[in-house]
Amino acid sequence: MHFFFQYTKVWIPDPDEVWRSGEIIKDYKEGDKSLHLKFEDDTICEYPVDLKTNQLPFLRNPDILVGENDLTALSYLHEPAVLHNLKVRFLESNHIYTYCGIVLVAINPYEQLPIYEQDVIYAYSGQNMGDMDPHIFAVAEEAYKQMARDEKNQSIIVSGESGAGKTVSAKYAMRFFASVGGSASETNIEEKVLASSPIMEAIGNAKTTRNDNSSRFGKYIQIGFDKRYHIIGANMRTYLLEKSRVVFQADDERNYHIFYQLCASASLPEFKDLALTCAEDFFYTSMGGDTTIDGIDDADDFEKTRHAFTLLGVKESHQMSIFKIIASILHLGNLEIQAERDGDSCSISKQDEHLNNFCRLLGVEHSQMEHWLCHRKLATTAETYIKPMSVQQVMNARNALAKHIYAQLFNWIVEHINKALHTTLKQHSFIGVLDIYGFETFEVNSFEQFCINYANEKLQQQFNSHVFKLEQEEYMKEQIPWTLIDFYDNQPCIDLIEAKLGILDLLDEECKVPKGTDQNWAQKLYDRYSSSQHFQKPRMSNTSFIVVHFADKVEYQSDGFLEKNRDTVYEEQINILKASKYQMVADLFQDEKDSVPATPTVKGAAPKISVRSARPAVKAANKEHKKTVGHQAICSLCTSLSTQQIVKILNLYTPVNEFEERVTVAFIRNIQANLQERNDPPQLLLDYKYMFPVLFPFSPSSITMDSIHIPASLNLEFLNEV
């Protein structure tokens, strides 16, 4: 029986305010068709009750609890209660931080607050998490304390939608560790750790419609400590750089900050050789409209970027090489491509100043680059042809080359930052900080938003697993009385994306089809997933599709998905860059091979891109299909977990009847490519269906399950027979 008595306060949905508070003015008993309510503005309302579901409004918390600094202290913990509590704390008390158990909820104030100074760091150092007001420093202190007390490595995951302030929060966490764990030696390693931030923001952040300093890549920074818990070094891993931003920006967005910083400093004497002018003069930096950001001085930020490079030990000559490469990309985008009369071929003038500057800055042969920007090789089993390309094909190839050059430079800079932060001292423990893209939904959503939102689905699953699933399993194991919380499980949405014949799988298949198109791929999605709860077809489009994510419905435009997933540049252009007279430019492209290997041949380097070779397809048919960007999304998410965590997840969180659908041999091999260089103890995944154990690193065997004896001393009791 449900009774709501007079004077009870409730929340009802509201189209304008989302949730509206009202007070019941007449007792309600089960069977009544409506609730009689009075709102805070004294208006009266009869709120209808669906007698079939008997769904009643959410109860409002007592006023004495509103404004609590920990959401778990509320009597009623539901959406309107959470939103109202956060609103009261933010608007009335000027508190941007609120706890939810071990989770810190932060609201971006979009202004600088005086709560991050050194004296605030010292105030939180050594304190217990609940002793002071909620703060990012309290979370950082808790991680540092648990690392020292329990001698266990820690990680802080910073997640949220685009523009929520994740990157800034990650920076403040690292600043805390640099202060409380300052190095005991004169190496000033903590200064170098902090110096990596302005560099990564310059080359990896950009203005979007949501955020003036949006991270367009994911990063995981692992800060190493010695036995006395002083910082001794750090290491950074990056994930899925948004390369398409180099060649395209939506309205009111910008390219990466470094392009504008360099253009703003083009008048400096040392940069005269770059032949740069203002950002408005370059195609790759002016597509979004306004090239400036209110309150941001790009020239001043560039000085900070250069200072950070110097602090990290990047030589002046290498810095100038970096700036030459960045300038060359801008000149590449300004090439004037002239169509010939036949419409199937085109050319670039030998006198094109931007082509001259591009070749000069990269130290490559002018006539060769001019030729191969407009032609490509086609090979049959008998002979090789040189085929001219149309204007559109040349523009696509030009853009692909620009993206590839920038991505290779980005990876080079990350590698050199890691060299500067590397230590030969033995690491006793570490704290990791994961700062990955927030959930995104724009007016136009493409492949980049799809990958970002897929990553956030996986993060949400981890969040659910830790906050709800694992915690409740612990209560049950300890036989503590506990009412199970029914929380949203987003596994069906993840299956839609990554399972066998899921969205990514069908995308990879369409990329293999000689005449595959975005439209054909979209039609295959409609045919296969028309009945899925997490997939919808828009009424007014035959090329878009909707995915119902945990955070929101997102409509994706299929145009460009295939080309972005293939991520192809032409082999002839890469060979010209390999032959550059400048060593650094040549080194950037030496990892690319004439044919794509099945597995990486360079230690620790996975192939990031498909180099389109002139070799006939027949000869390459027996080679494993090169990993596409979509598959990289799967693998890169795994690199932030330990090998044992991955094995546990594969064993414990995979339903038996879906095992062959979600954890195939090919999928395991994709994961193991990212784990090959680890020094972790070998972990076993026992696969009953395929009748062989999989060892990380991968080692197939014909041994059956029945013949395997697992000694208790190995502590592998978590393994299941699946």
Catalytic residue (one of 197, 214, 244, 568): 214
3-state class (DSSP) for residue 373: helix
- Max CA-CA distance within the chain? 89
CA distances 457 to 122, 438, 627, 653, Å, are: 36, 10, 21, 15
Our CA angle for 230, 233, 239, nearest 5°, is: 130
| Residues in CB range of 666: below 8 A, 6 or more apart | none
118 is written with which tokens? 């050194």
192 is written with which tokens? 């170098």
Query: What does the radius of gyration of the chain's CA atoms come to, in whole angstroms?
Result: 28
Question: Which residue is associated with the tokens 């059956």?
Answer: 704
Q: How far is CA 297 from the centre of its chain?
A: 27
Cα separation, 717 vs 220, in Å, equals 30
Question: Of all helices (H) and strands (E), which one includes residue 695?
Answer: strand 692-696
Q: Are 640 and 434 in contact (CB under 8 A)?
A: yes
352 is written with which tokens? 């094109």
Give the number of C-alpha atoms closer than 13 A to the C-alpha of residue 337, restricted to the C-beta side: 25
Do β-strands 34-39 and 44-48 pair in parallel, antiparallel, or remain unpaired? antiparallel
Q: Do the annotations mark residue 160 as ligand-binding? A: yes
Region for 604 from its dihedrals, namely left if φ exceeds 0, alpha if ψ lies in -120 to 50, beta otherwise: left
Catalytic residue (one of 242, 440, 498, 592): 440
Q: Between the CA atoms of 335, 336, 341 and 346, what dihedral angle is there, to the nearest 10 degrees?
A: -10
The dihedral built from the CA positions of residue 390, 392, 396 and 398, taken in this order, carries a sign that is: positive
The closest alpha carbon to 235, from 697, 696, 677, 698, belongs to 677
Cα separation, 645 vs 665, in Å, equals 18
Q: How far is CA 99 from the centre of its chain?
A: 25
Query: Does residue 701 have an active-site annotation?
Result: no
Cα separation, 253 vs 244, in Å, equals 13
Q: Do the annotations mark residue 166 as ligand-binding? A: yes
Question: Of all helices (H) and strands (E), which one includes residue 402?
Answer: helix 391-421
Q: Give backbone dihedrals phi and psi of 517, rounded to 5 degrees, phi first.
A: -135, 160
Eight-state DSSP code of residue 581: S
Catalytic residue (one of 438, 490, 630, 651): 438
Query: Does residue 215 have an active-site annotation?
Result: yes
| Residues in CB range of 450: below 8 A, 6 or more apart | 547, 556, 561
Q: How far is CA 19 from the centre of its chain?
A: 32
3-state class (DSSP) for residue 98: strand
Catalytic residue (one of 61, 85, 169, 215): 215
In 49-135, the DSSP E strands lie at 58-59, 97-100, 103-106
627 is written with which tokens? 């990993």
Q: Give backbone dihedrals phi and psi of 9, rounded to 5 degrees, phi first.
A: -100, 135
Cα separation, 459 vs 717, in Å, equals 26
Catalytic residue (one of 159, 167, 291, 445): 167
Q: Do the annotations mark residue 167 as ligand-binding? A: yes
Cα separation, 21 vs 4, in Å, equals 15
Q: Do the annotations mark residue 162 as ligand-binding? A: yes
Eight-state DSSP code of residue 521: H
The closest alpha carbon to 687, from 672, 670, 701, 671, belongs to 701
What is the crossing angle of helices 391-421 and 316-333, to 10°?
A: 160
Catalytic residue (one of 8, 196, 211, 456): 211
| Residues in CB range of 140: below 8 A, 6 or more apart | 124, 156, 172, 173, 176, 177
Query: Does residue 440 have an active-site annotation?
Result: yes
Cα separation, 274 vs 328, in Å, equals 8
Catalytic residue (one of 163, 182, 516, 560): 163
Q: Which amino acid is at 449?
A: Q
77 is written with which tokens? 């913990």
Question: Of all helices (H) and strands (E), which one includes residue 89?
Answer: helix 79-91
Residues in the chain: 722
Catalytic residue (one of 162, 208, 265, 558): 162
Q: Do the annotations mark residue 165 as ligand-binding? A: yes
Query: Does residue 363 have an active-site annotation?
Result: no
Query: Does residue 211 have an active-site annotation?
Result: yes
**Binding-site sequence positions for ATP:** 160-167
Catalytic residues: 162-163, 167, 211, 214-215, 438, 440
**Binding-site sequence positions:** 160-167
